[in-house]
Chain A
């Protein structure tokens, strides 16, 4: 009796479940049949009237029917959920080719970039990075570098003199003096920074530009060491093996003093307009630190020697990016600056 009832209910419910078209209908059936007050629950209430043997049989049937219905129900539920999710996702179609809102990436000034690159290079070779002020004393800028007053070398550097009696440094070399006093021997230091020359500005001349001073002081530092360091560093900077040559150059704070040329990277030394057909491009002044400079830096020139060099960062940037107007670098024009 009750078995028939149960199997009819199961069959009818299976049919209804198969026929539903929405998740809501399915839920209605679940509540109606499997819910706490559902039809199966009613059936199980009636079981109390049965004999223990019958109760066992019916109980098994009841569980089987319930389990079967739950499985069917769950399968359909999952199907509905999957369909609903698919539908929702489809609605969430997005065009990822439109530009992202908000700010894009900014860019670092090319001088910052090249400076960082060269700093890292020198640091990896054991050089400390030092800073010096833009406004310097006449002593540090000239006298301590073996350029006494009335020295003709002062003519070589048109100086901005200031109302406080000081000057705008004409080179980063005063940091040599500061570096020797701060670090003591042996030392390896570089000092990048802004320097000033009092001259008219045009496409190839600036009153404000950037240099990187370098100095190494140790026992028995020689010209051959200087050449080694310069060759190593310049090869790293230009990312290829460079050929360098030294020729005499006069700078009062070094003795001997050199102009360092690199073989023209455009024509590899065969001659082209960039190197004025000489095959060589003048790149940086350098030399062995003058004993007077060491002495003024508190270092005994009989015990120590050193080399120093000055690298033109502005020039390097212009070479690297083929910039033909030096004024762009401090013009603040974002059309230019966002290219780097």
Chain B
């Protein structure tokens, strides 16, 4: 939202602050100032000038003119405007302004420029150089002056409907600077309503006020009005529309002017019928539905309430009577319609902020004076048509000085200070012995201020938060332990980096192609309903799609690498919140070699993270190497997988992956048990070599030996293997012992024999 500092100054007695300073004060006390910029600085130099002579330059559309500029003397200027002629009063831009230099055009010297309204930044009029009816050479351009624009961040005005106009901001400035705010005229004509108005749902439209004018002349606005609108980013259109926009930019009350001759009968504020068309003044016909509020006459909609006026009843050159509307609409309804129609206008932006219904008549009063100025001879017909369903006045807000002091943390705050601040912001204040009763001005009561906490902000910001002394809390401080899950994940990350793995963060989104590549059913995913970019359609049910991408991306840069991610799988649970399950994906990649080392490195990592885990061969997923894939088992529960990516899944090299469910893993971590006394009697060990099928699993044989070895077996260890034409020979060492004695050699032999017998019974051969 752009604020003209001269416009603000017009509302305040004796405001002398430099605009930059004003911008900083507004930032500190009210809303964020995003920038302070000079506007129209050239108006300090551009003058009215009279064309003395104008001679065409043969063979061109240009003319060489002699111009009386007053202040700058007689100048020779080359001009290409069709309306350039002797005796014309126009604007002269001296060299150095608006990028104009002393130049030679077609060999003719030109000292400066004669300018159009558009070139002067007054309006978009650029058909020829500007023409003045009265004035003398050397005069400043009438109604135009240099200004400074203070730009305020719209977001910081979200809760302040009153600050969407200059008058509201001037009230803030008045409170900040202590300078008085000038009162506005509130005079309205009395008389019968000039048009019948009915409101179907007062909730959607609490107030509709209108005036009728006759003897209207539609013409361009005077320059001061055009320049003023231009300076705050509004386009001048014609004198009538410009007045409505000016009042909106001043009082934050959007208005609309209808060509009264084009209206058929009275006005009804109602919701649209399903599919009802409304041709708008932007040239588009909108097809509406019953959620949309319209202003209708007896023939149909003449405007979409609070958003845009209708096309057929718009002001045109032939307009002679107008109906001027200043209404109030329900903020949420306007916002909904504006979103639905994808149509944000200066009006809708303001109505969305909950405008003050009391403001409609203030706007009409302000418009009367302006219209009389810009359309000489204009006359009000009758009085105000005003249908108003006022809301119950808000209850006064009560609080104590002690409470305000506690909230701000300022023990020396006085009742007089509080009263002065609130009064300067137009709150009604009564105070007795530190007990306050405060009434809220209508323009703050729509949404912004309703409870005492809202007043803490008013008092705090005007005192200046910088004037509060930082205060350590008086409550005792105890240091809580880091929650176990967090401590666990932190430890895990440390362990992984110590083992050489670098952490990556990936998005929670995957696209359908990524999910399909890994065979993840699309239907299992929570879907994003409104992604604005590709690749955001689904929430990931696995970390692997991005891990796969990380592998391929980094394989282009590195011969080998290790990386990991700790992130959440998100699993749809229907109407409940999805289940978010933290997982670990660790990758060891190498471009060369057979990949065995990476897999065993990750197996060792698994053993470090999930102490006591075992691997069981698994049926490989499509993206896994069909013969290098295993389930990681901890205390009889699967907690994840160890695999090598299928060669078709990676562009090059071999990528081993350890993928673990961290929730299961944490739940299955062994509890610290009791200490086991050290063995007092010696143990014995013997080796056994089992000859089996070439693809017999070492782990399976180990699993057979353990129960066969009986309770005296202390340890069964795989030592090494050897493959020959006889099959796979695997050697195990079995350590036996007893807690209370040394085993006899007979006992050891018996154990050994039992194992051999058992293994042979399972179809294995034991080498003697």
Measuring CB to CB, which residues of chain A are less than 8 angstroms from any residue of chain B?
Answer: 102-109, 111-112, 116, 119, 123-131, 133-137, 149-150, 152-153, 155-156, 158-166, 168, 186, 194, 196, 198-201, 207-208, 216, 218-225, 227-229, 231, 245-250, 252, 255-259, 288, 290-291, 301, 305, 329-330, 332-335, 337-338
Contacts and interface: CB of A to CB of B under 8 A. Distances in A.
A198 B537 CA distance: 12
Contact of A137 (B483, B493, B577): B577
B472 A256 contact: no
Contact of A247 (B28, B410, B509, B553): B28
27 contacts: A103-B601, A106-B500, A111-B505, A112-B493, A126-B480, A135-B526, A158-B532, A162-B526, A163-B527, A164-B574, A165-B575, A166-B578, A198-B532, A207-B507, A222-B410, A223-B460, A227-B468, A245-B466, A246-B466, A247-B32, A249-B156, A252-B159, A256-B454, A256-B456, A256-B460, A288-B407, A332-B506
A194 B453 contact: no
A224 B532 contact: no
Contact of A334 (B509, B546, B554): B554
A160 B503 contact: no
Interface in B535-584: 536, 539, 546, 549-550, 553-554, 557-558, 561-564, 568, 570, 572-575, 577-578, 580
A219 B478 CA distance: 16
Contact of A131 (B409, B485, B496, B498): B485
Given A126-B477, A227-B470, A222 B504 contact: no
A334 B456 contact: no
A246 B509 CA distance: 36
A86 to B, nearest CB: 36
A152 B352 contact: yes
B537 to A, nearest CB: 10
Contacts of B316: none
A296 B175 CA distance: 35
B580 A329 contact: no
Which 6 residue pairs across A and B have the least CB separation, nearest first? A224-B409, A103-B500, A222-B409, A256-B457, A150-B332, A246-B465
A135 B470 contact: no
B505 A126 contact: no
A221 B408 CA distance: 9
Interface string B493-529: 1101111111111111100000000000000001111
Question: Most chain-B CB neighbours within 10 Å: which of A252, A290, A337?
Answer: A337
B526 A108 contact: no
Question: Most chain-B CB neighbours within 10 Å: which of A134, A159, A163, A256?
Answer: A256
B580 A134 contact: yes
B27 interface: yes
B407 A250 contact: no
Contacts of B490: 116
A190 to B, nearest CB: 11
Given A106-B562, A216-B473, A227-B468, 9 more contacts: A106-B496, A161-B528, A208-B507, A218-B473, A218-B475, A224-B471, A255-B453, A256-B461, A334-B502
Interface of B: 27-32, 155-160, 331-332, 335-336, 352-353, 406-410, 451, 453-454, 456-457, 460-461, 465-466, 468-473, 475, 477-480, 482-483, 485-486, 490, 493-494, 496-509, 526-533, 536, 539, 546, 549-550, 553-554, 557-558, 561-564, 568, 570, 572-575, 577-578, 580, 601
A335 B502 CA distance: 11
A198 B535 CA distance: 12
A105 B500 contact: yes
B530 A106 contact: no
Question: Most chain-B CB neighbours within 10 Å: which of A106, A198, A228, A329?
Answer: A106
B285 to A, nearest CB: 26
Contacts of B504: 109, 332, 334, 337
Contact of A162 (B160, B507, B529): B529
Contacts of B469: 224
A112 B574 CA distance: 31
Nearest to A245: B466
Nearest to B565: A332
Contacts of A137: 577
Contacts of A199: 532
Given A105-B500, A332-B546, A338-B502, A160 B531 contact: yes
Question: Most chain-B CB neighbours within 10 Å: which of A127, A130, A155, A159?
Answer: A155
Contacts of A337: 502-504, 563
B221 to A, nearest CB: 32
A301 B452 CA distance: 12
A47 B365 CA distance: 148
B471 A255 contact: no
Contact of B553 (A207, A291, A333): A333
Given A108-B493, A164-B575, A334-B563, A127 B553 contact: no
Contact of A107 (B353, B497, B577): B497
A127 B461 CA distance: 28
Contacts of B563: 106, 332, 334, 337
A330 B506 contact: yes
Contact of A106 (B468, B497, B570, B577): B497
A256 B473 contact: no
A70 to B, nearest CB: 37
Nearest to B456: A256
Given A116-B490, A255-B456, A291-B451, A105 B498 contact: yes
Contacts of A109: 503-505
B406 A220 contact: yes
Nearest to B582: A131
B479 A124 contact: yes
Contacts of A228: 470-473
Nearest to B527: A163
Contact of B578 (A104, A164, A250): A164
Nearest to A279: B24
A74 B27 CA distance: 94
Contacts of B453: 255-256, 288, 290-291, 301
B489 to A, nearest CB: 9
Nearest to B490: A116
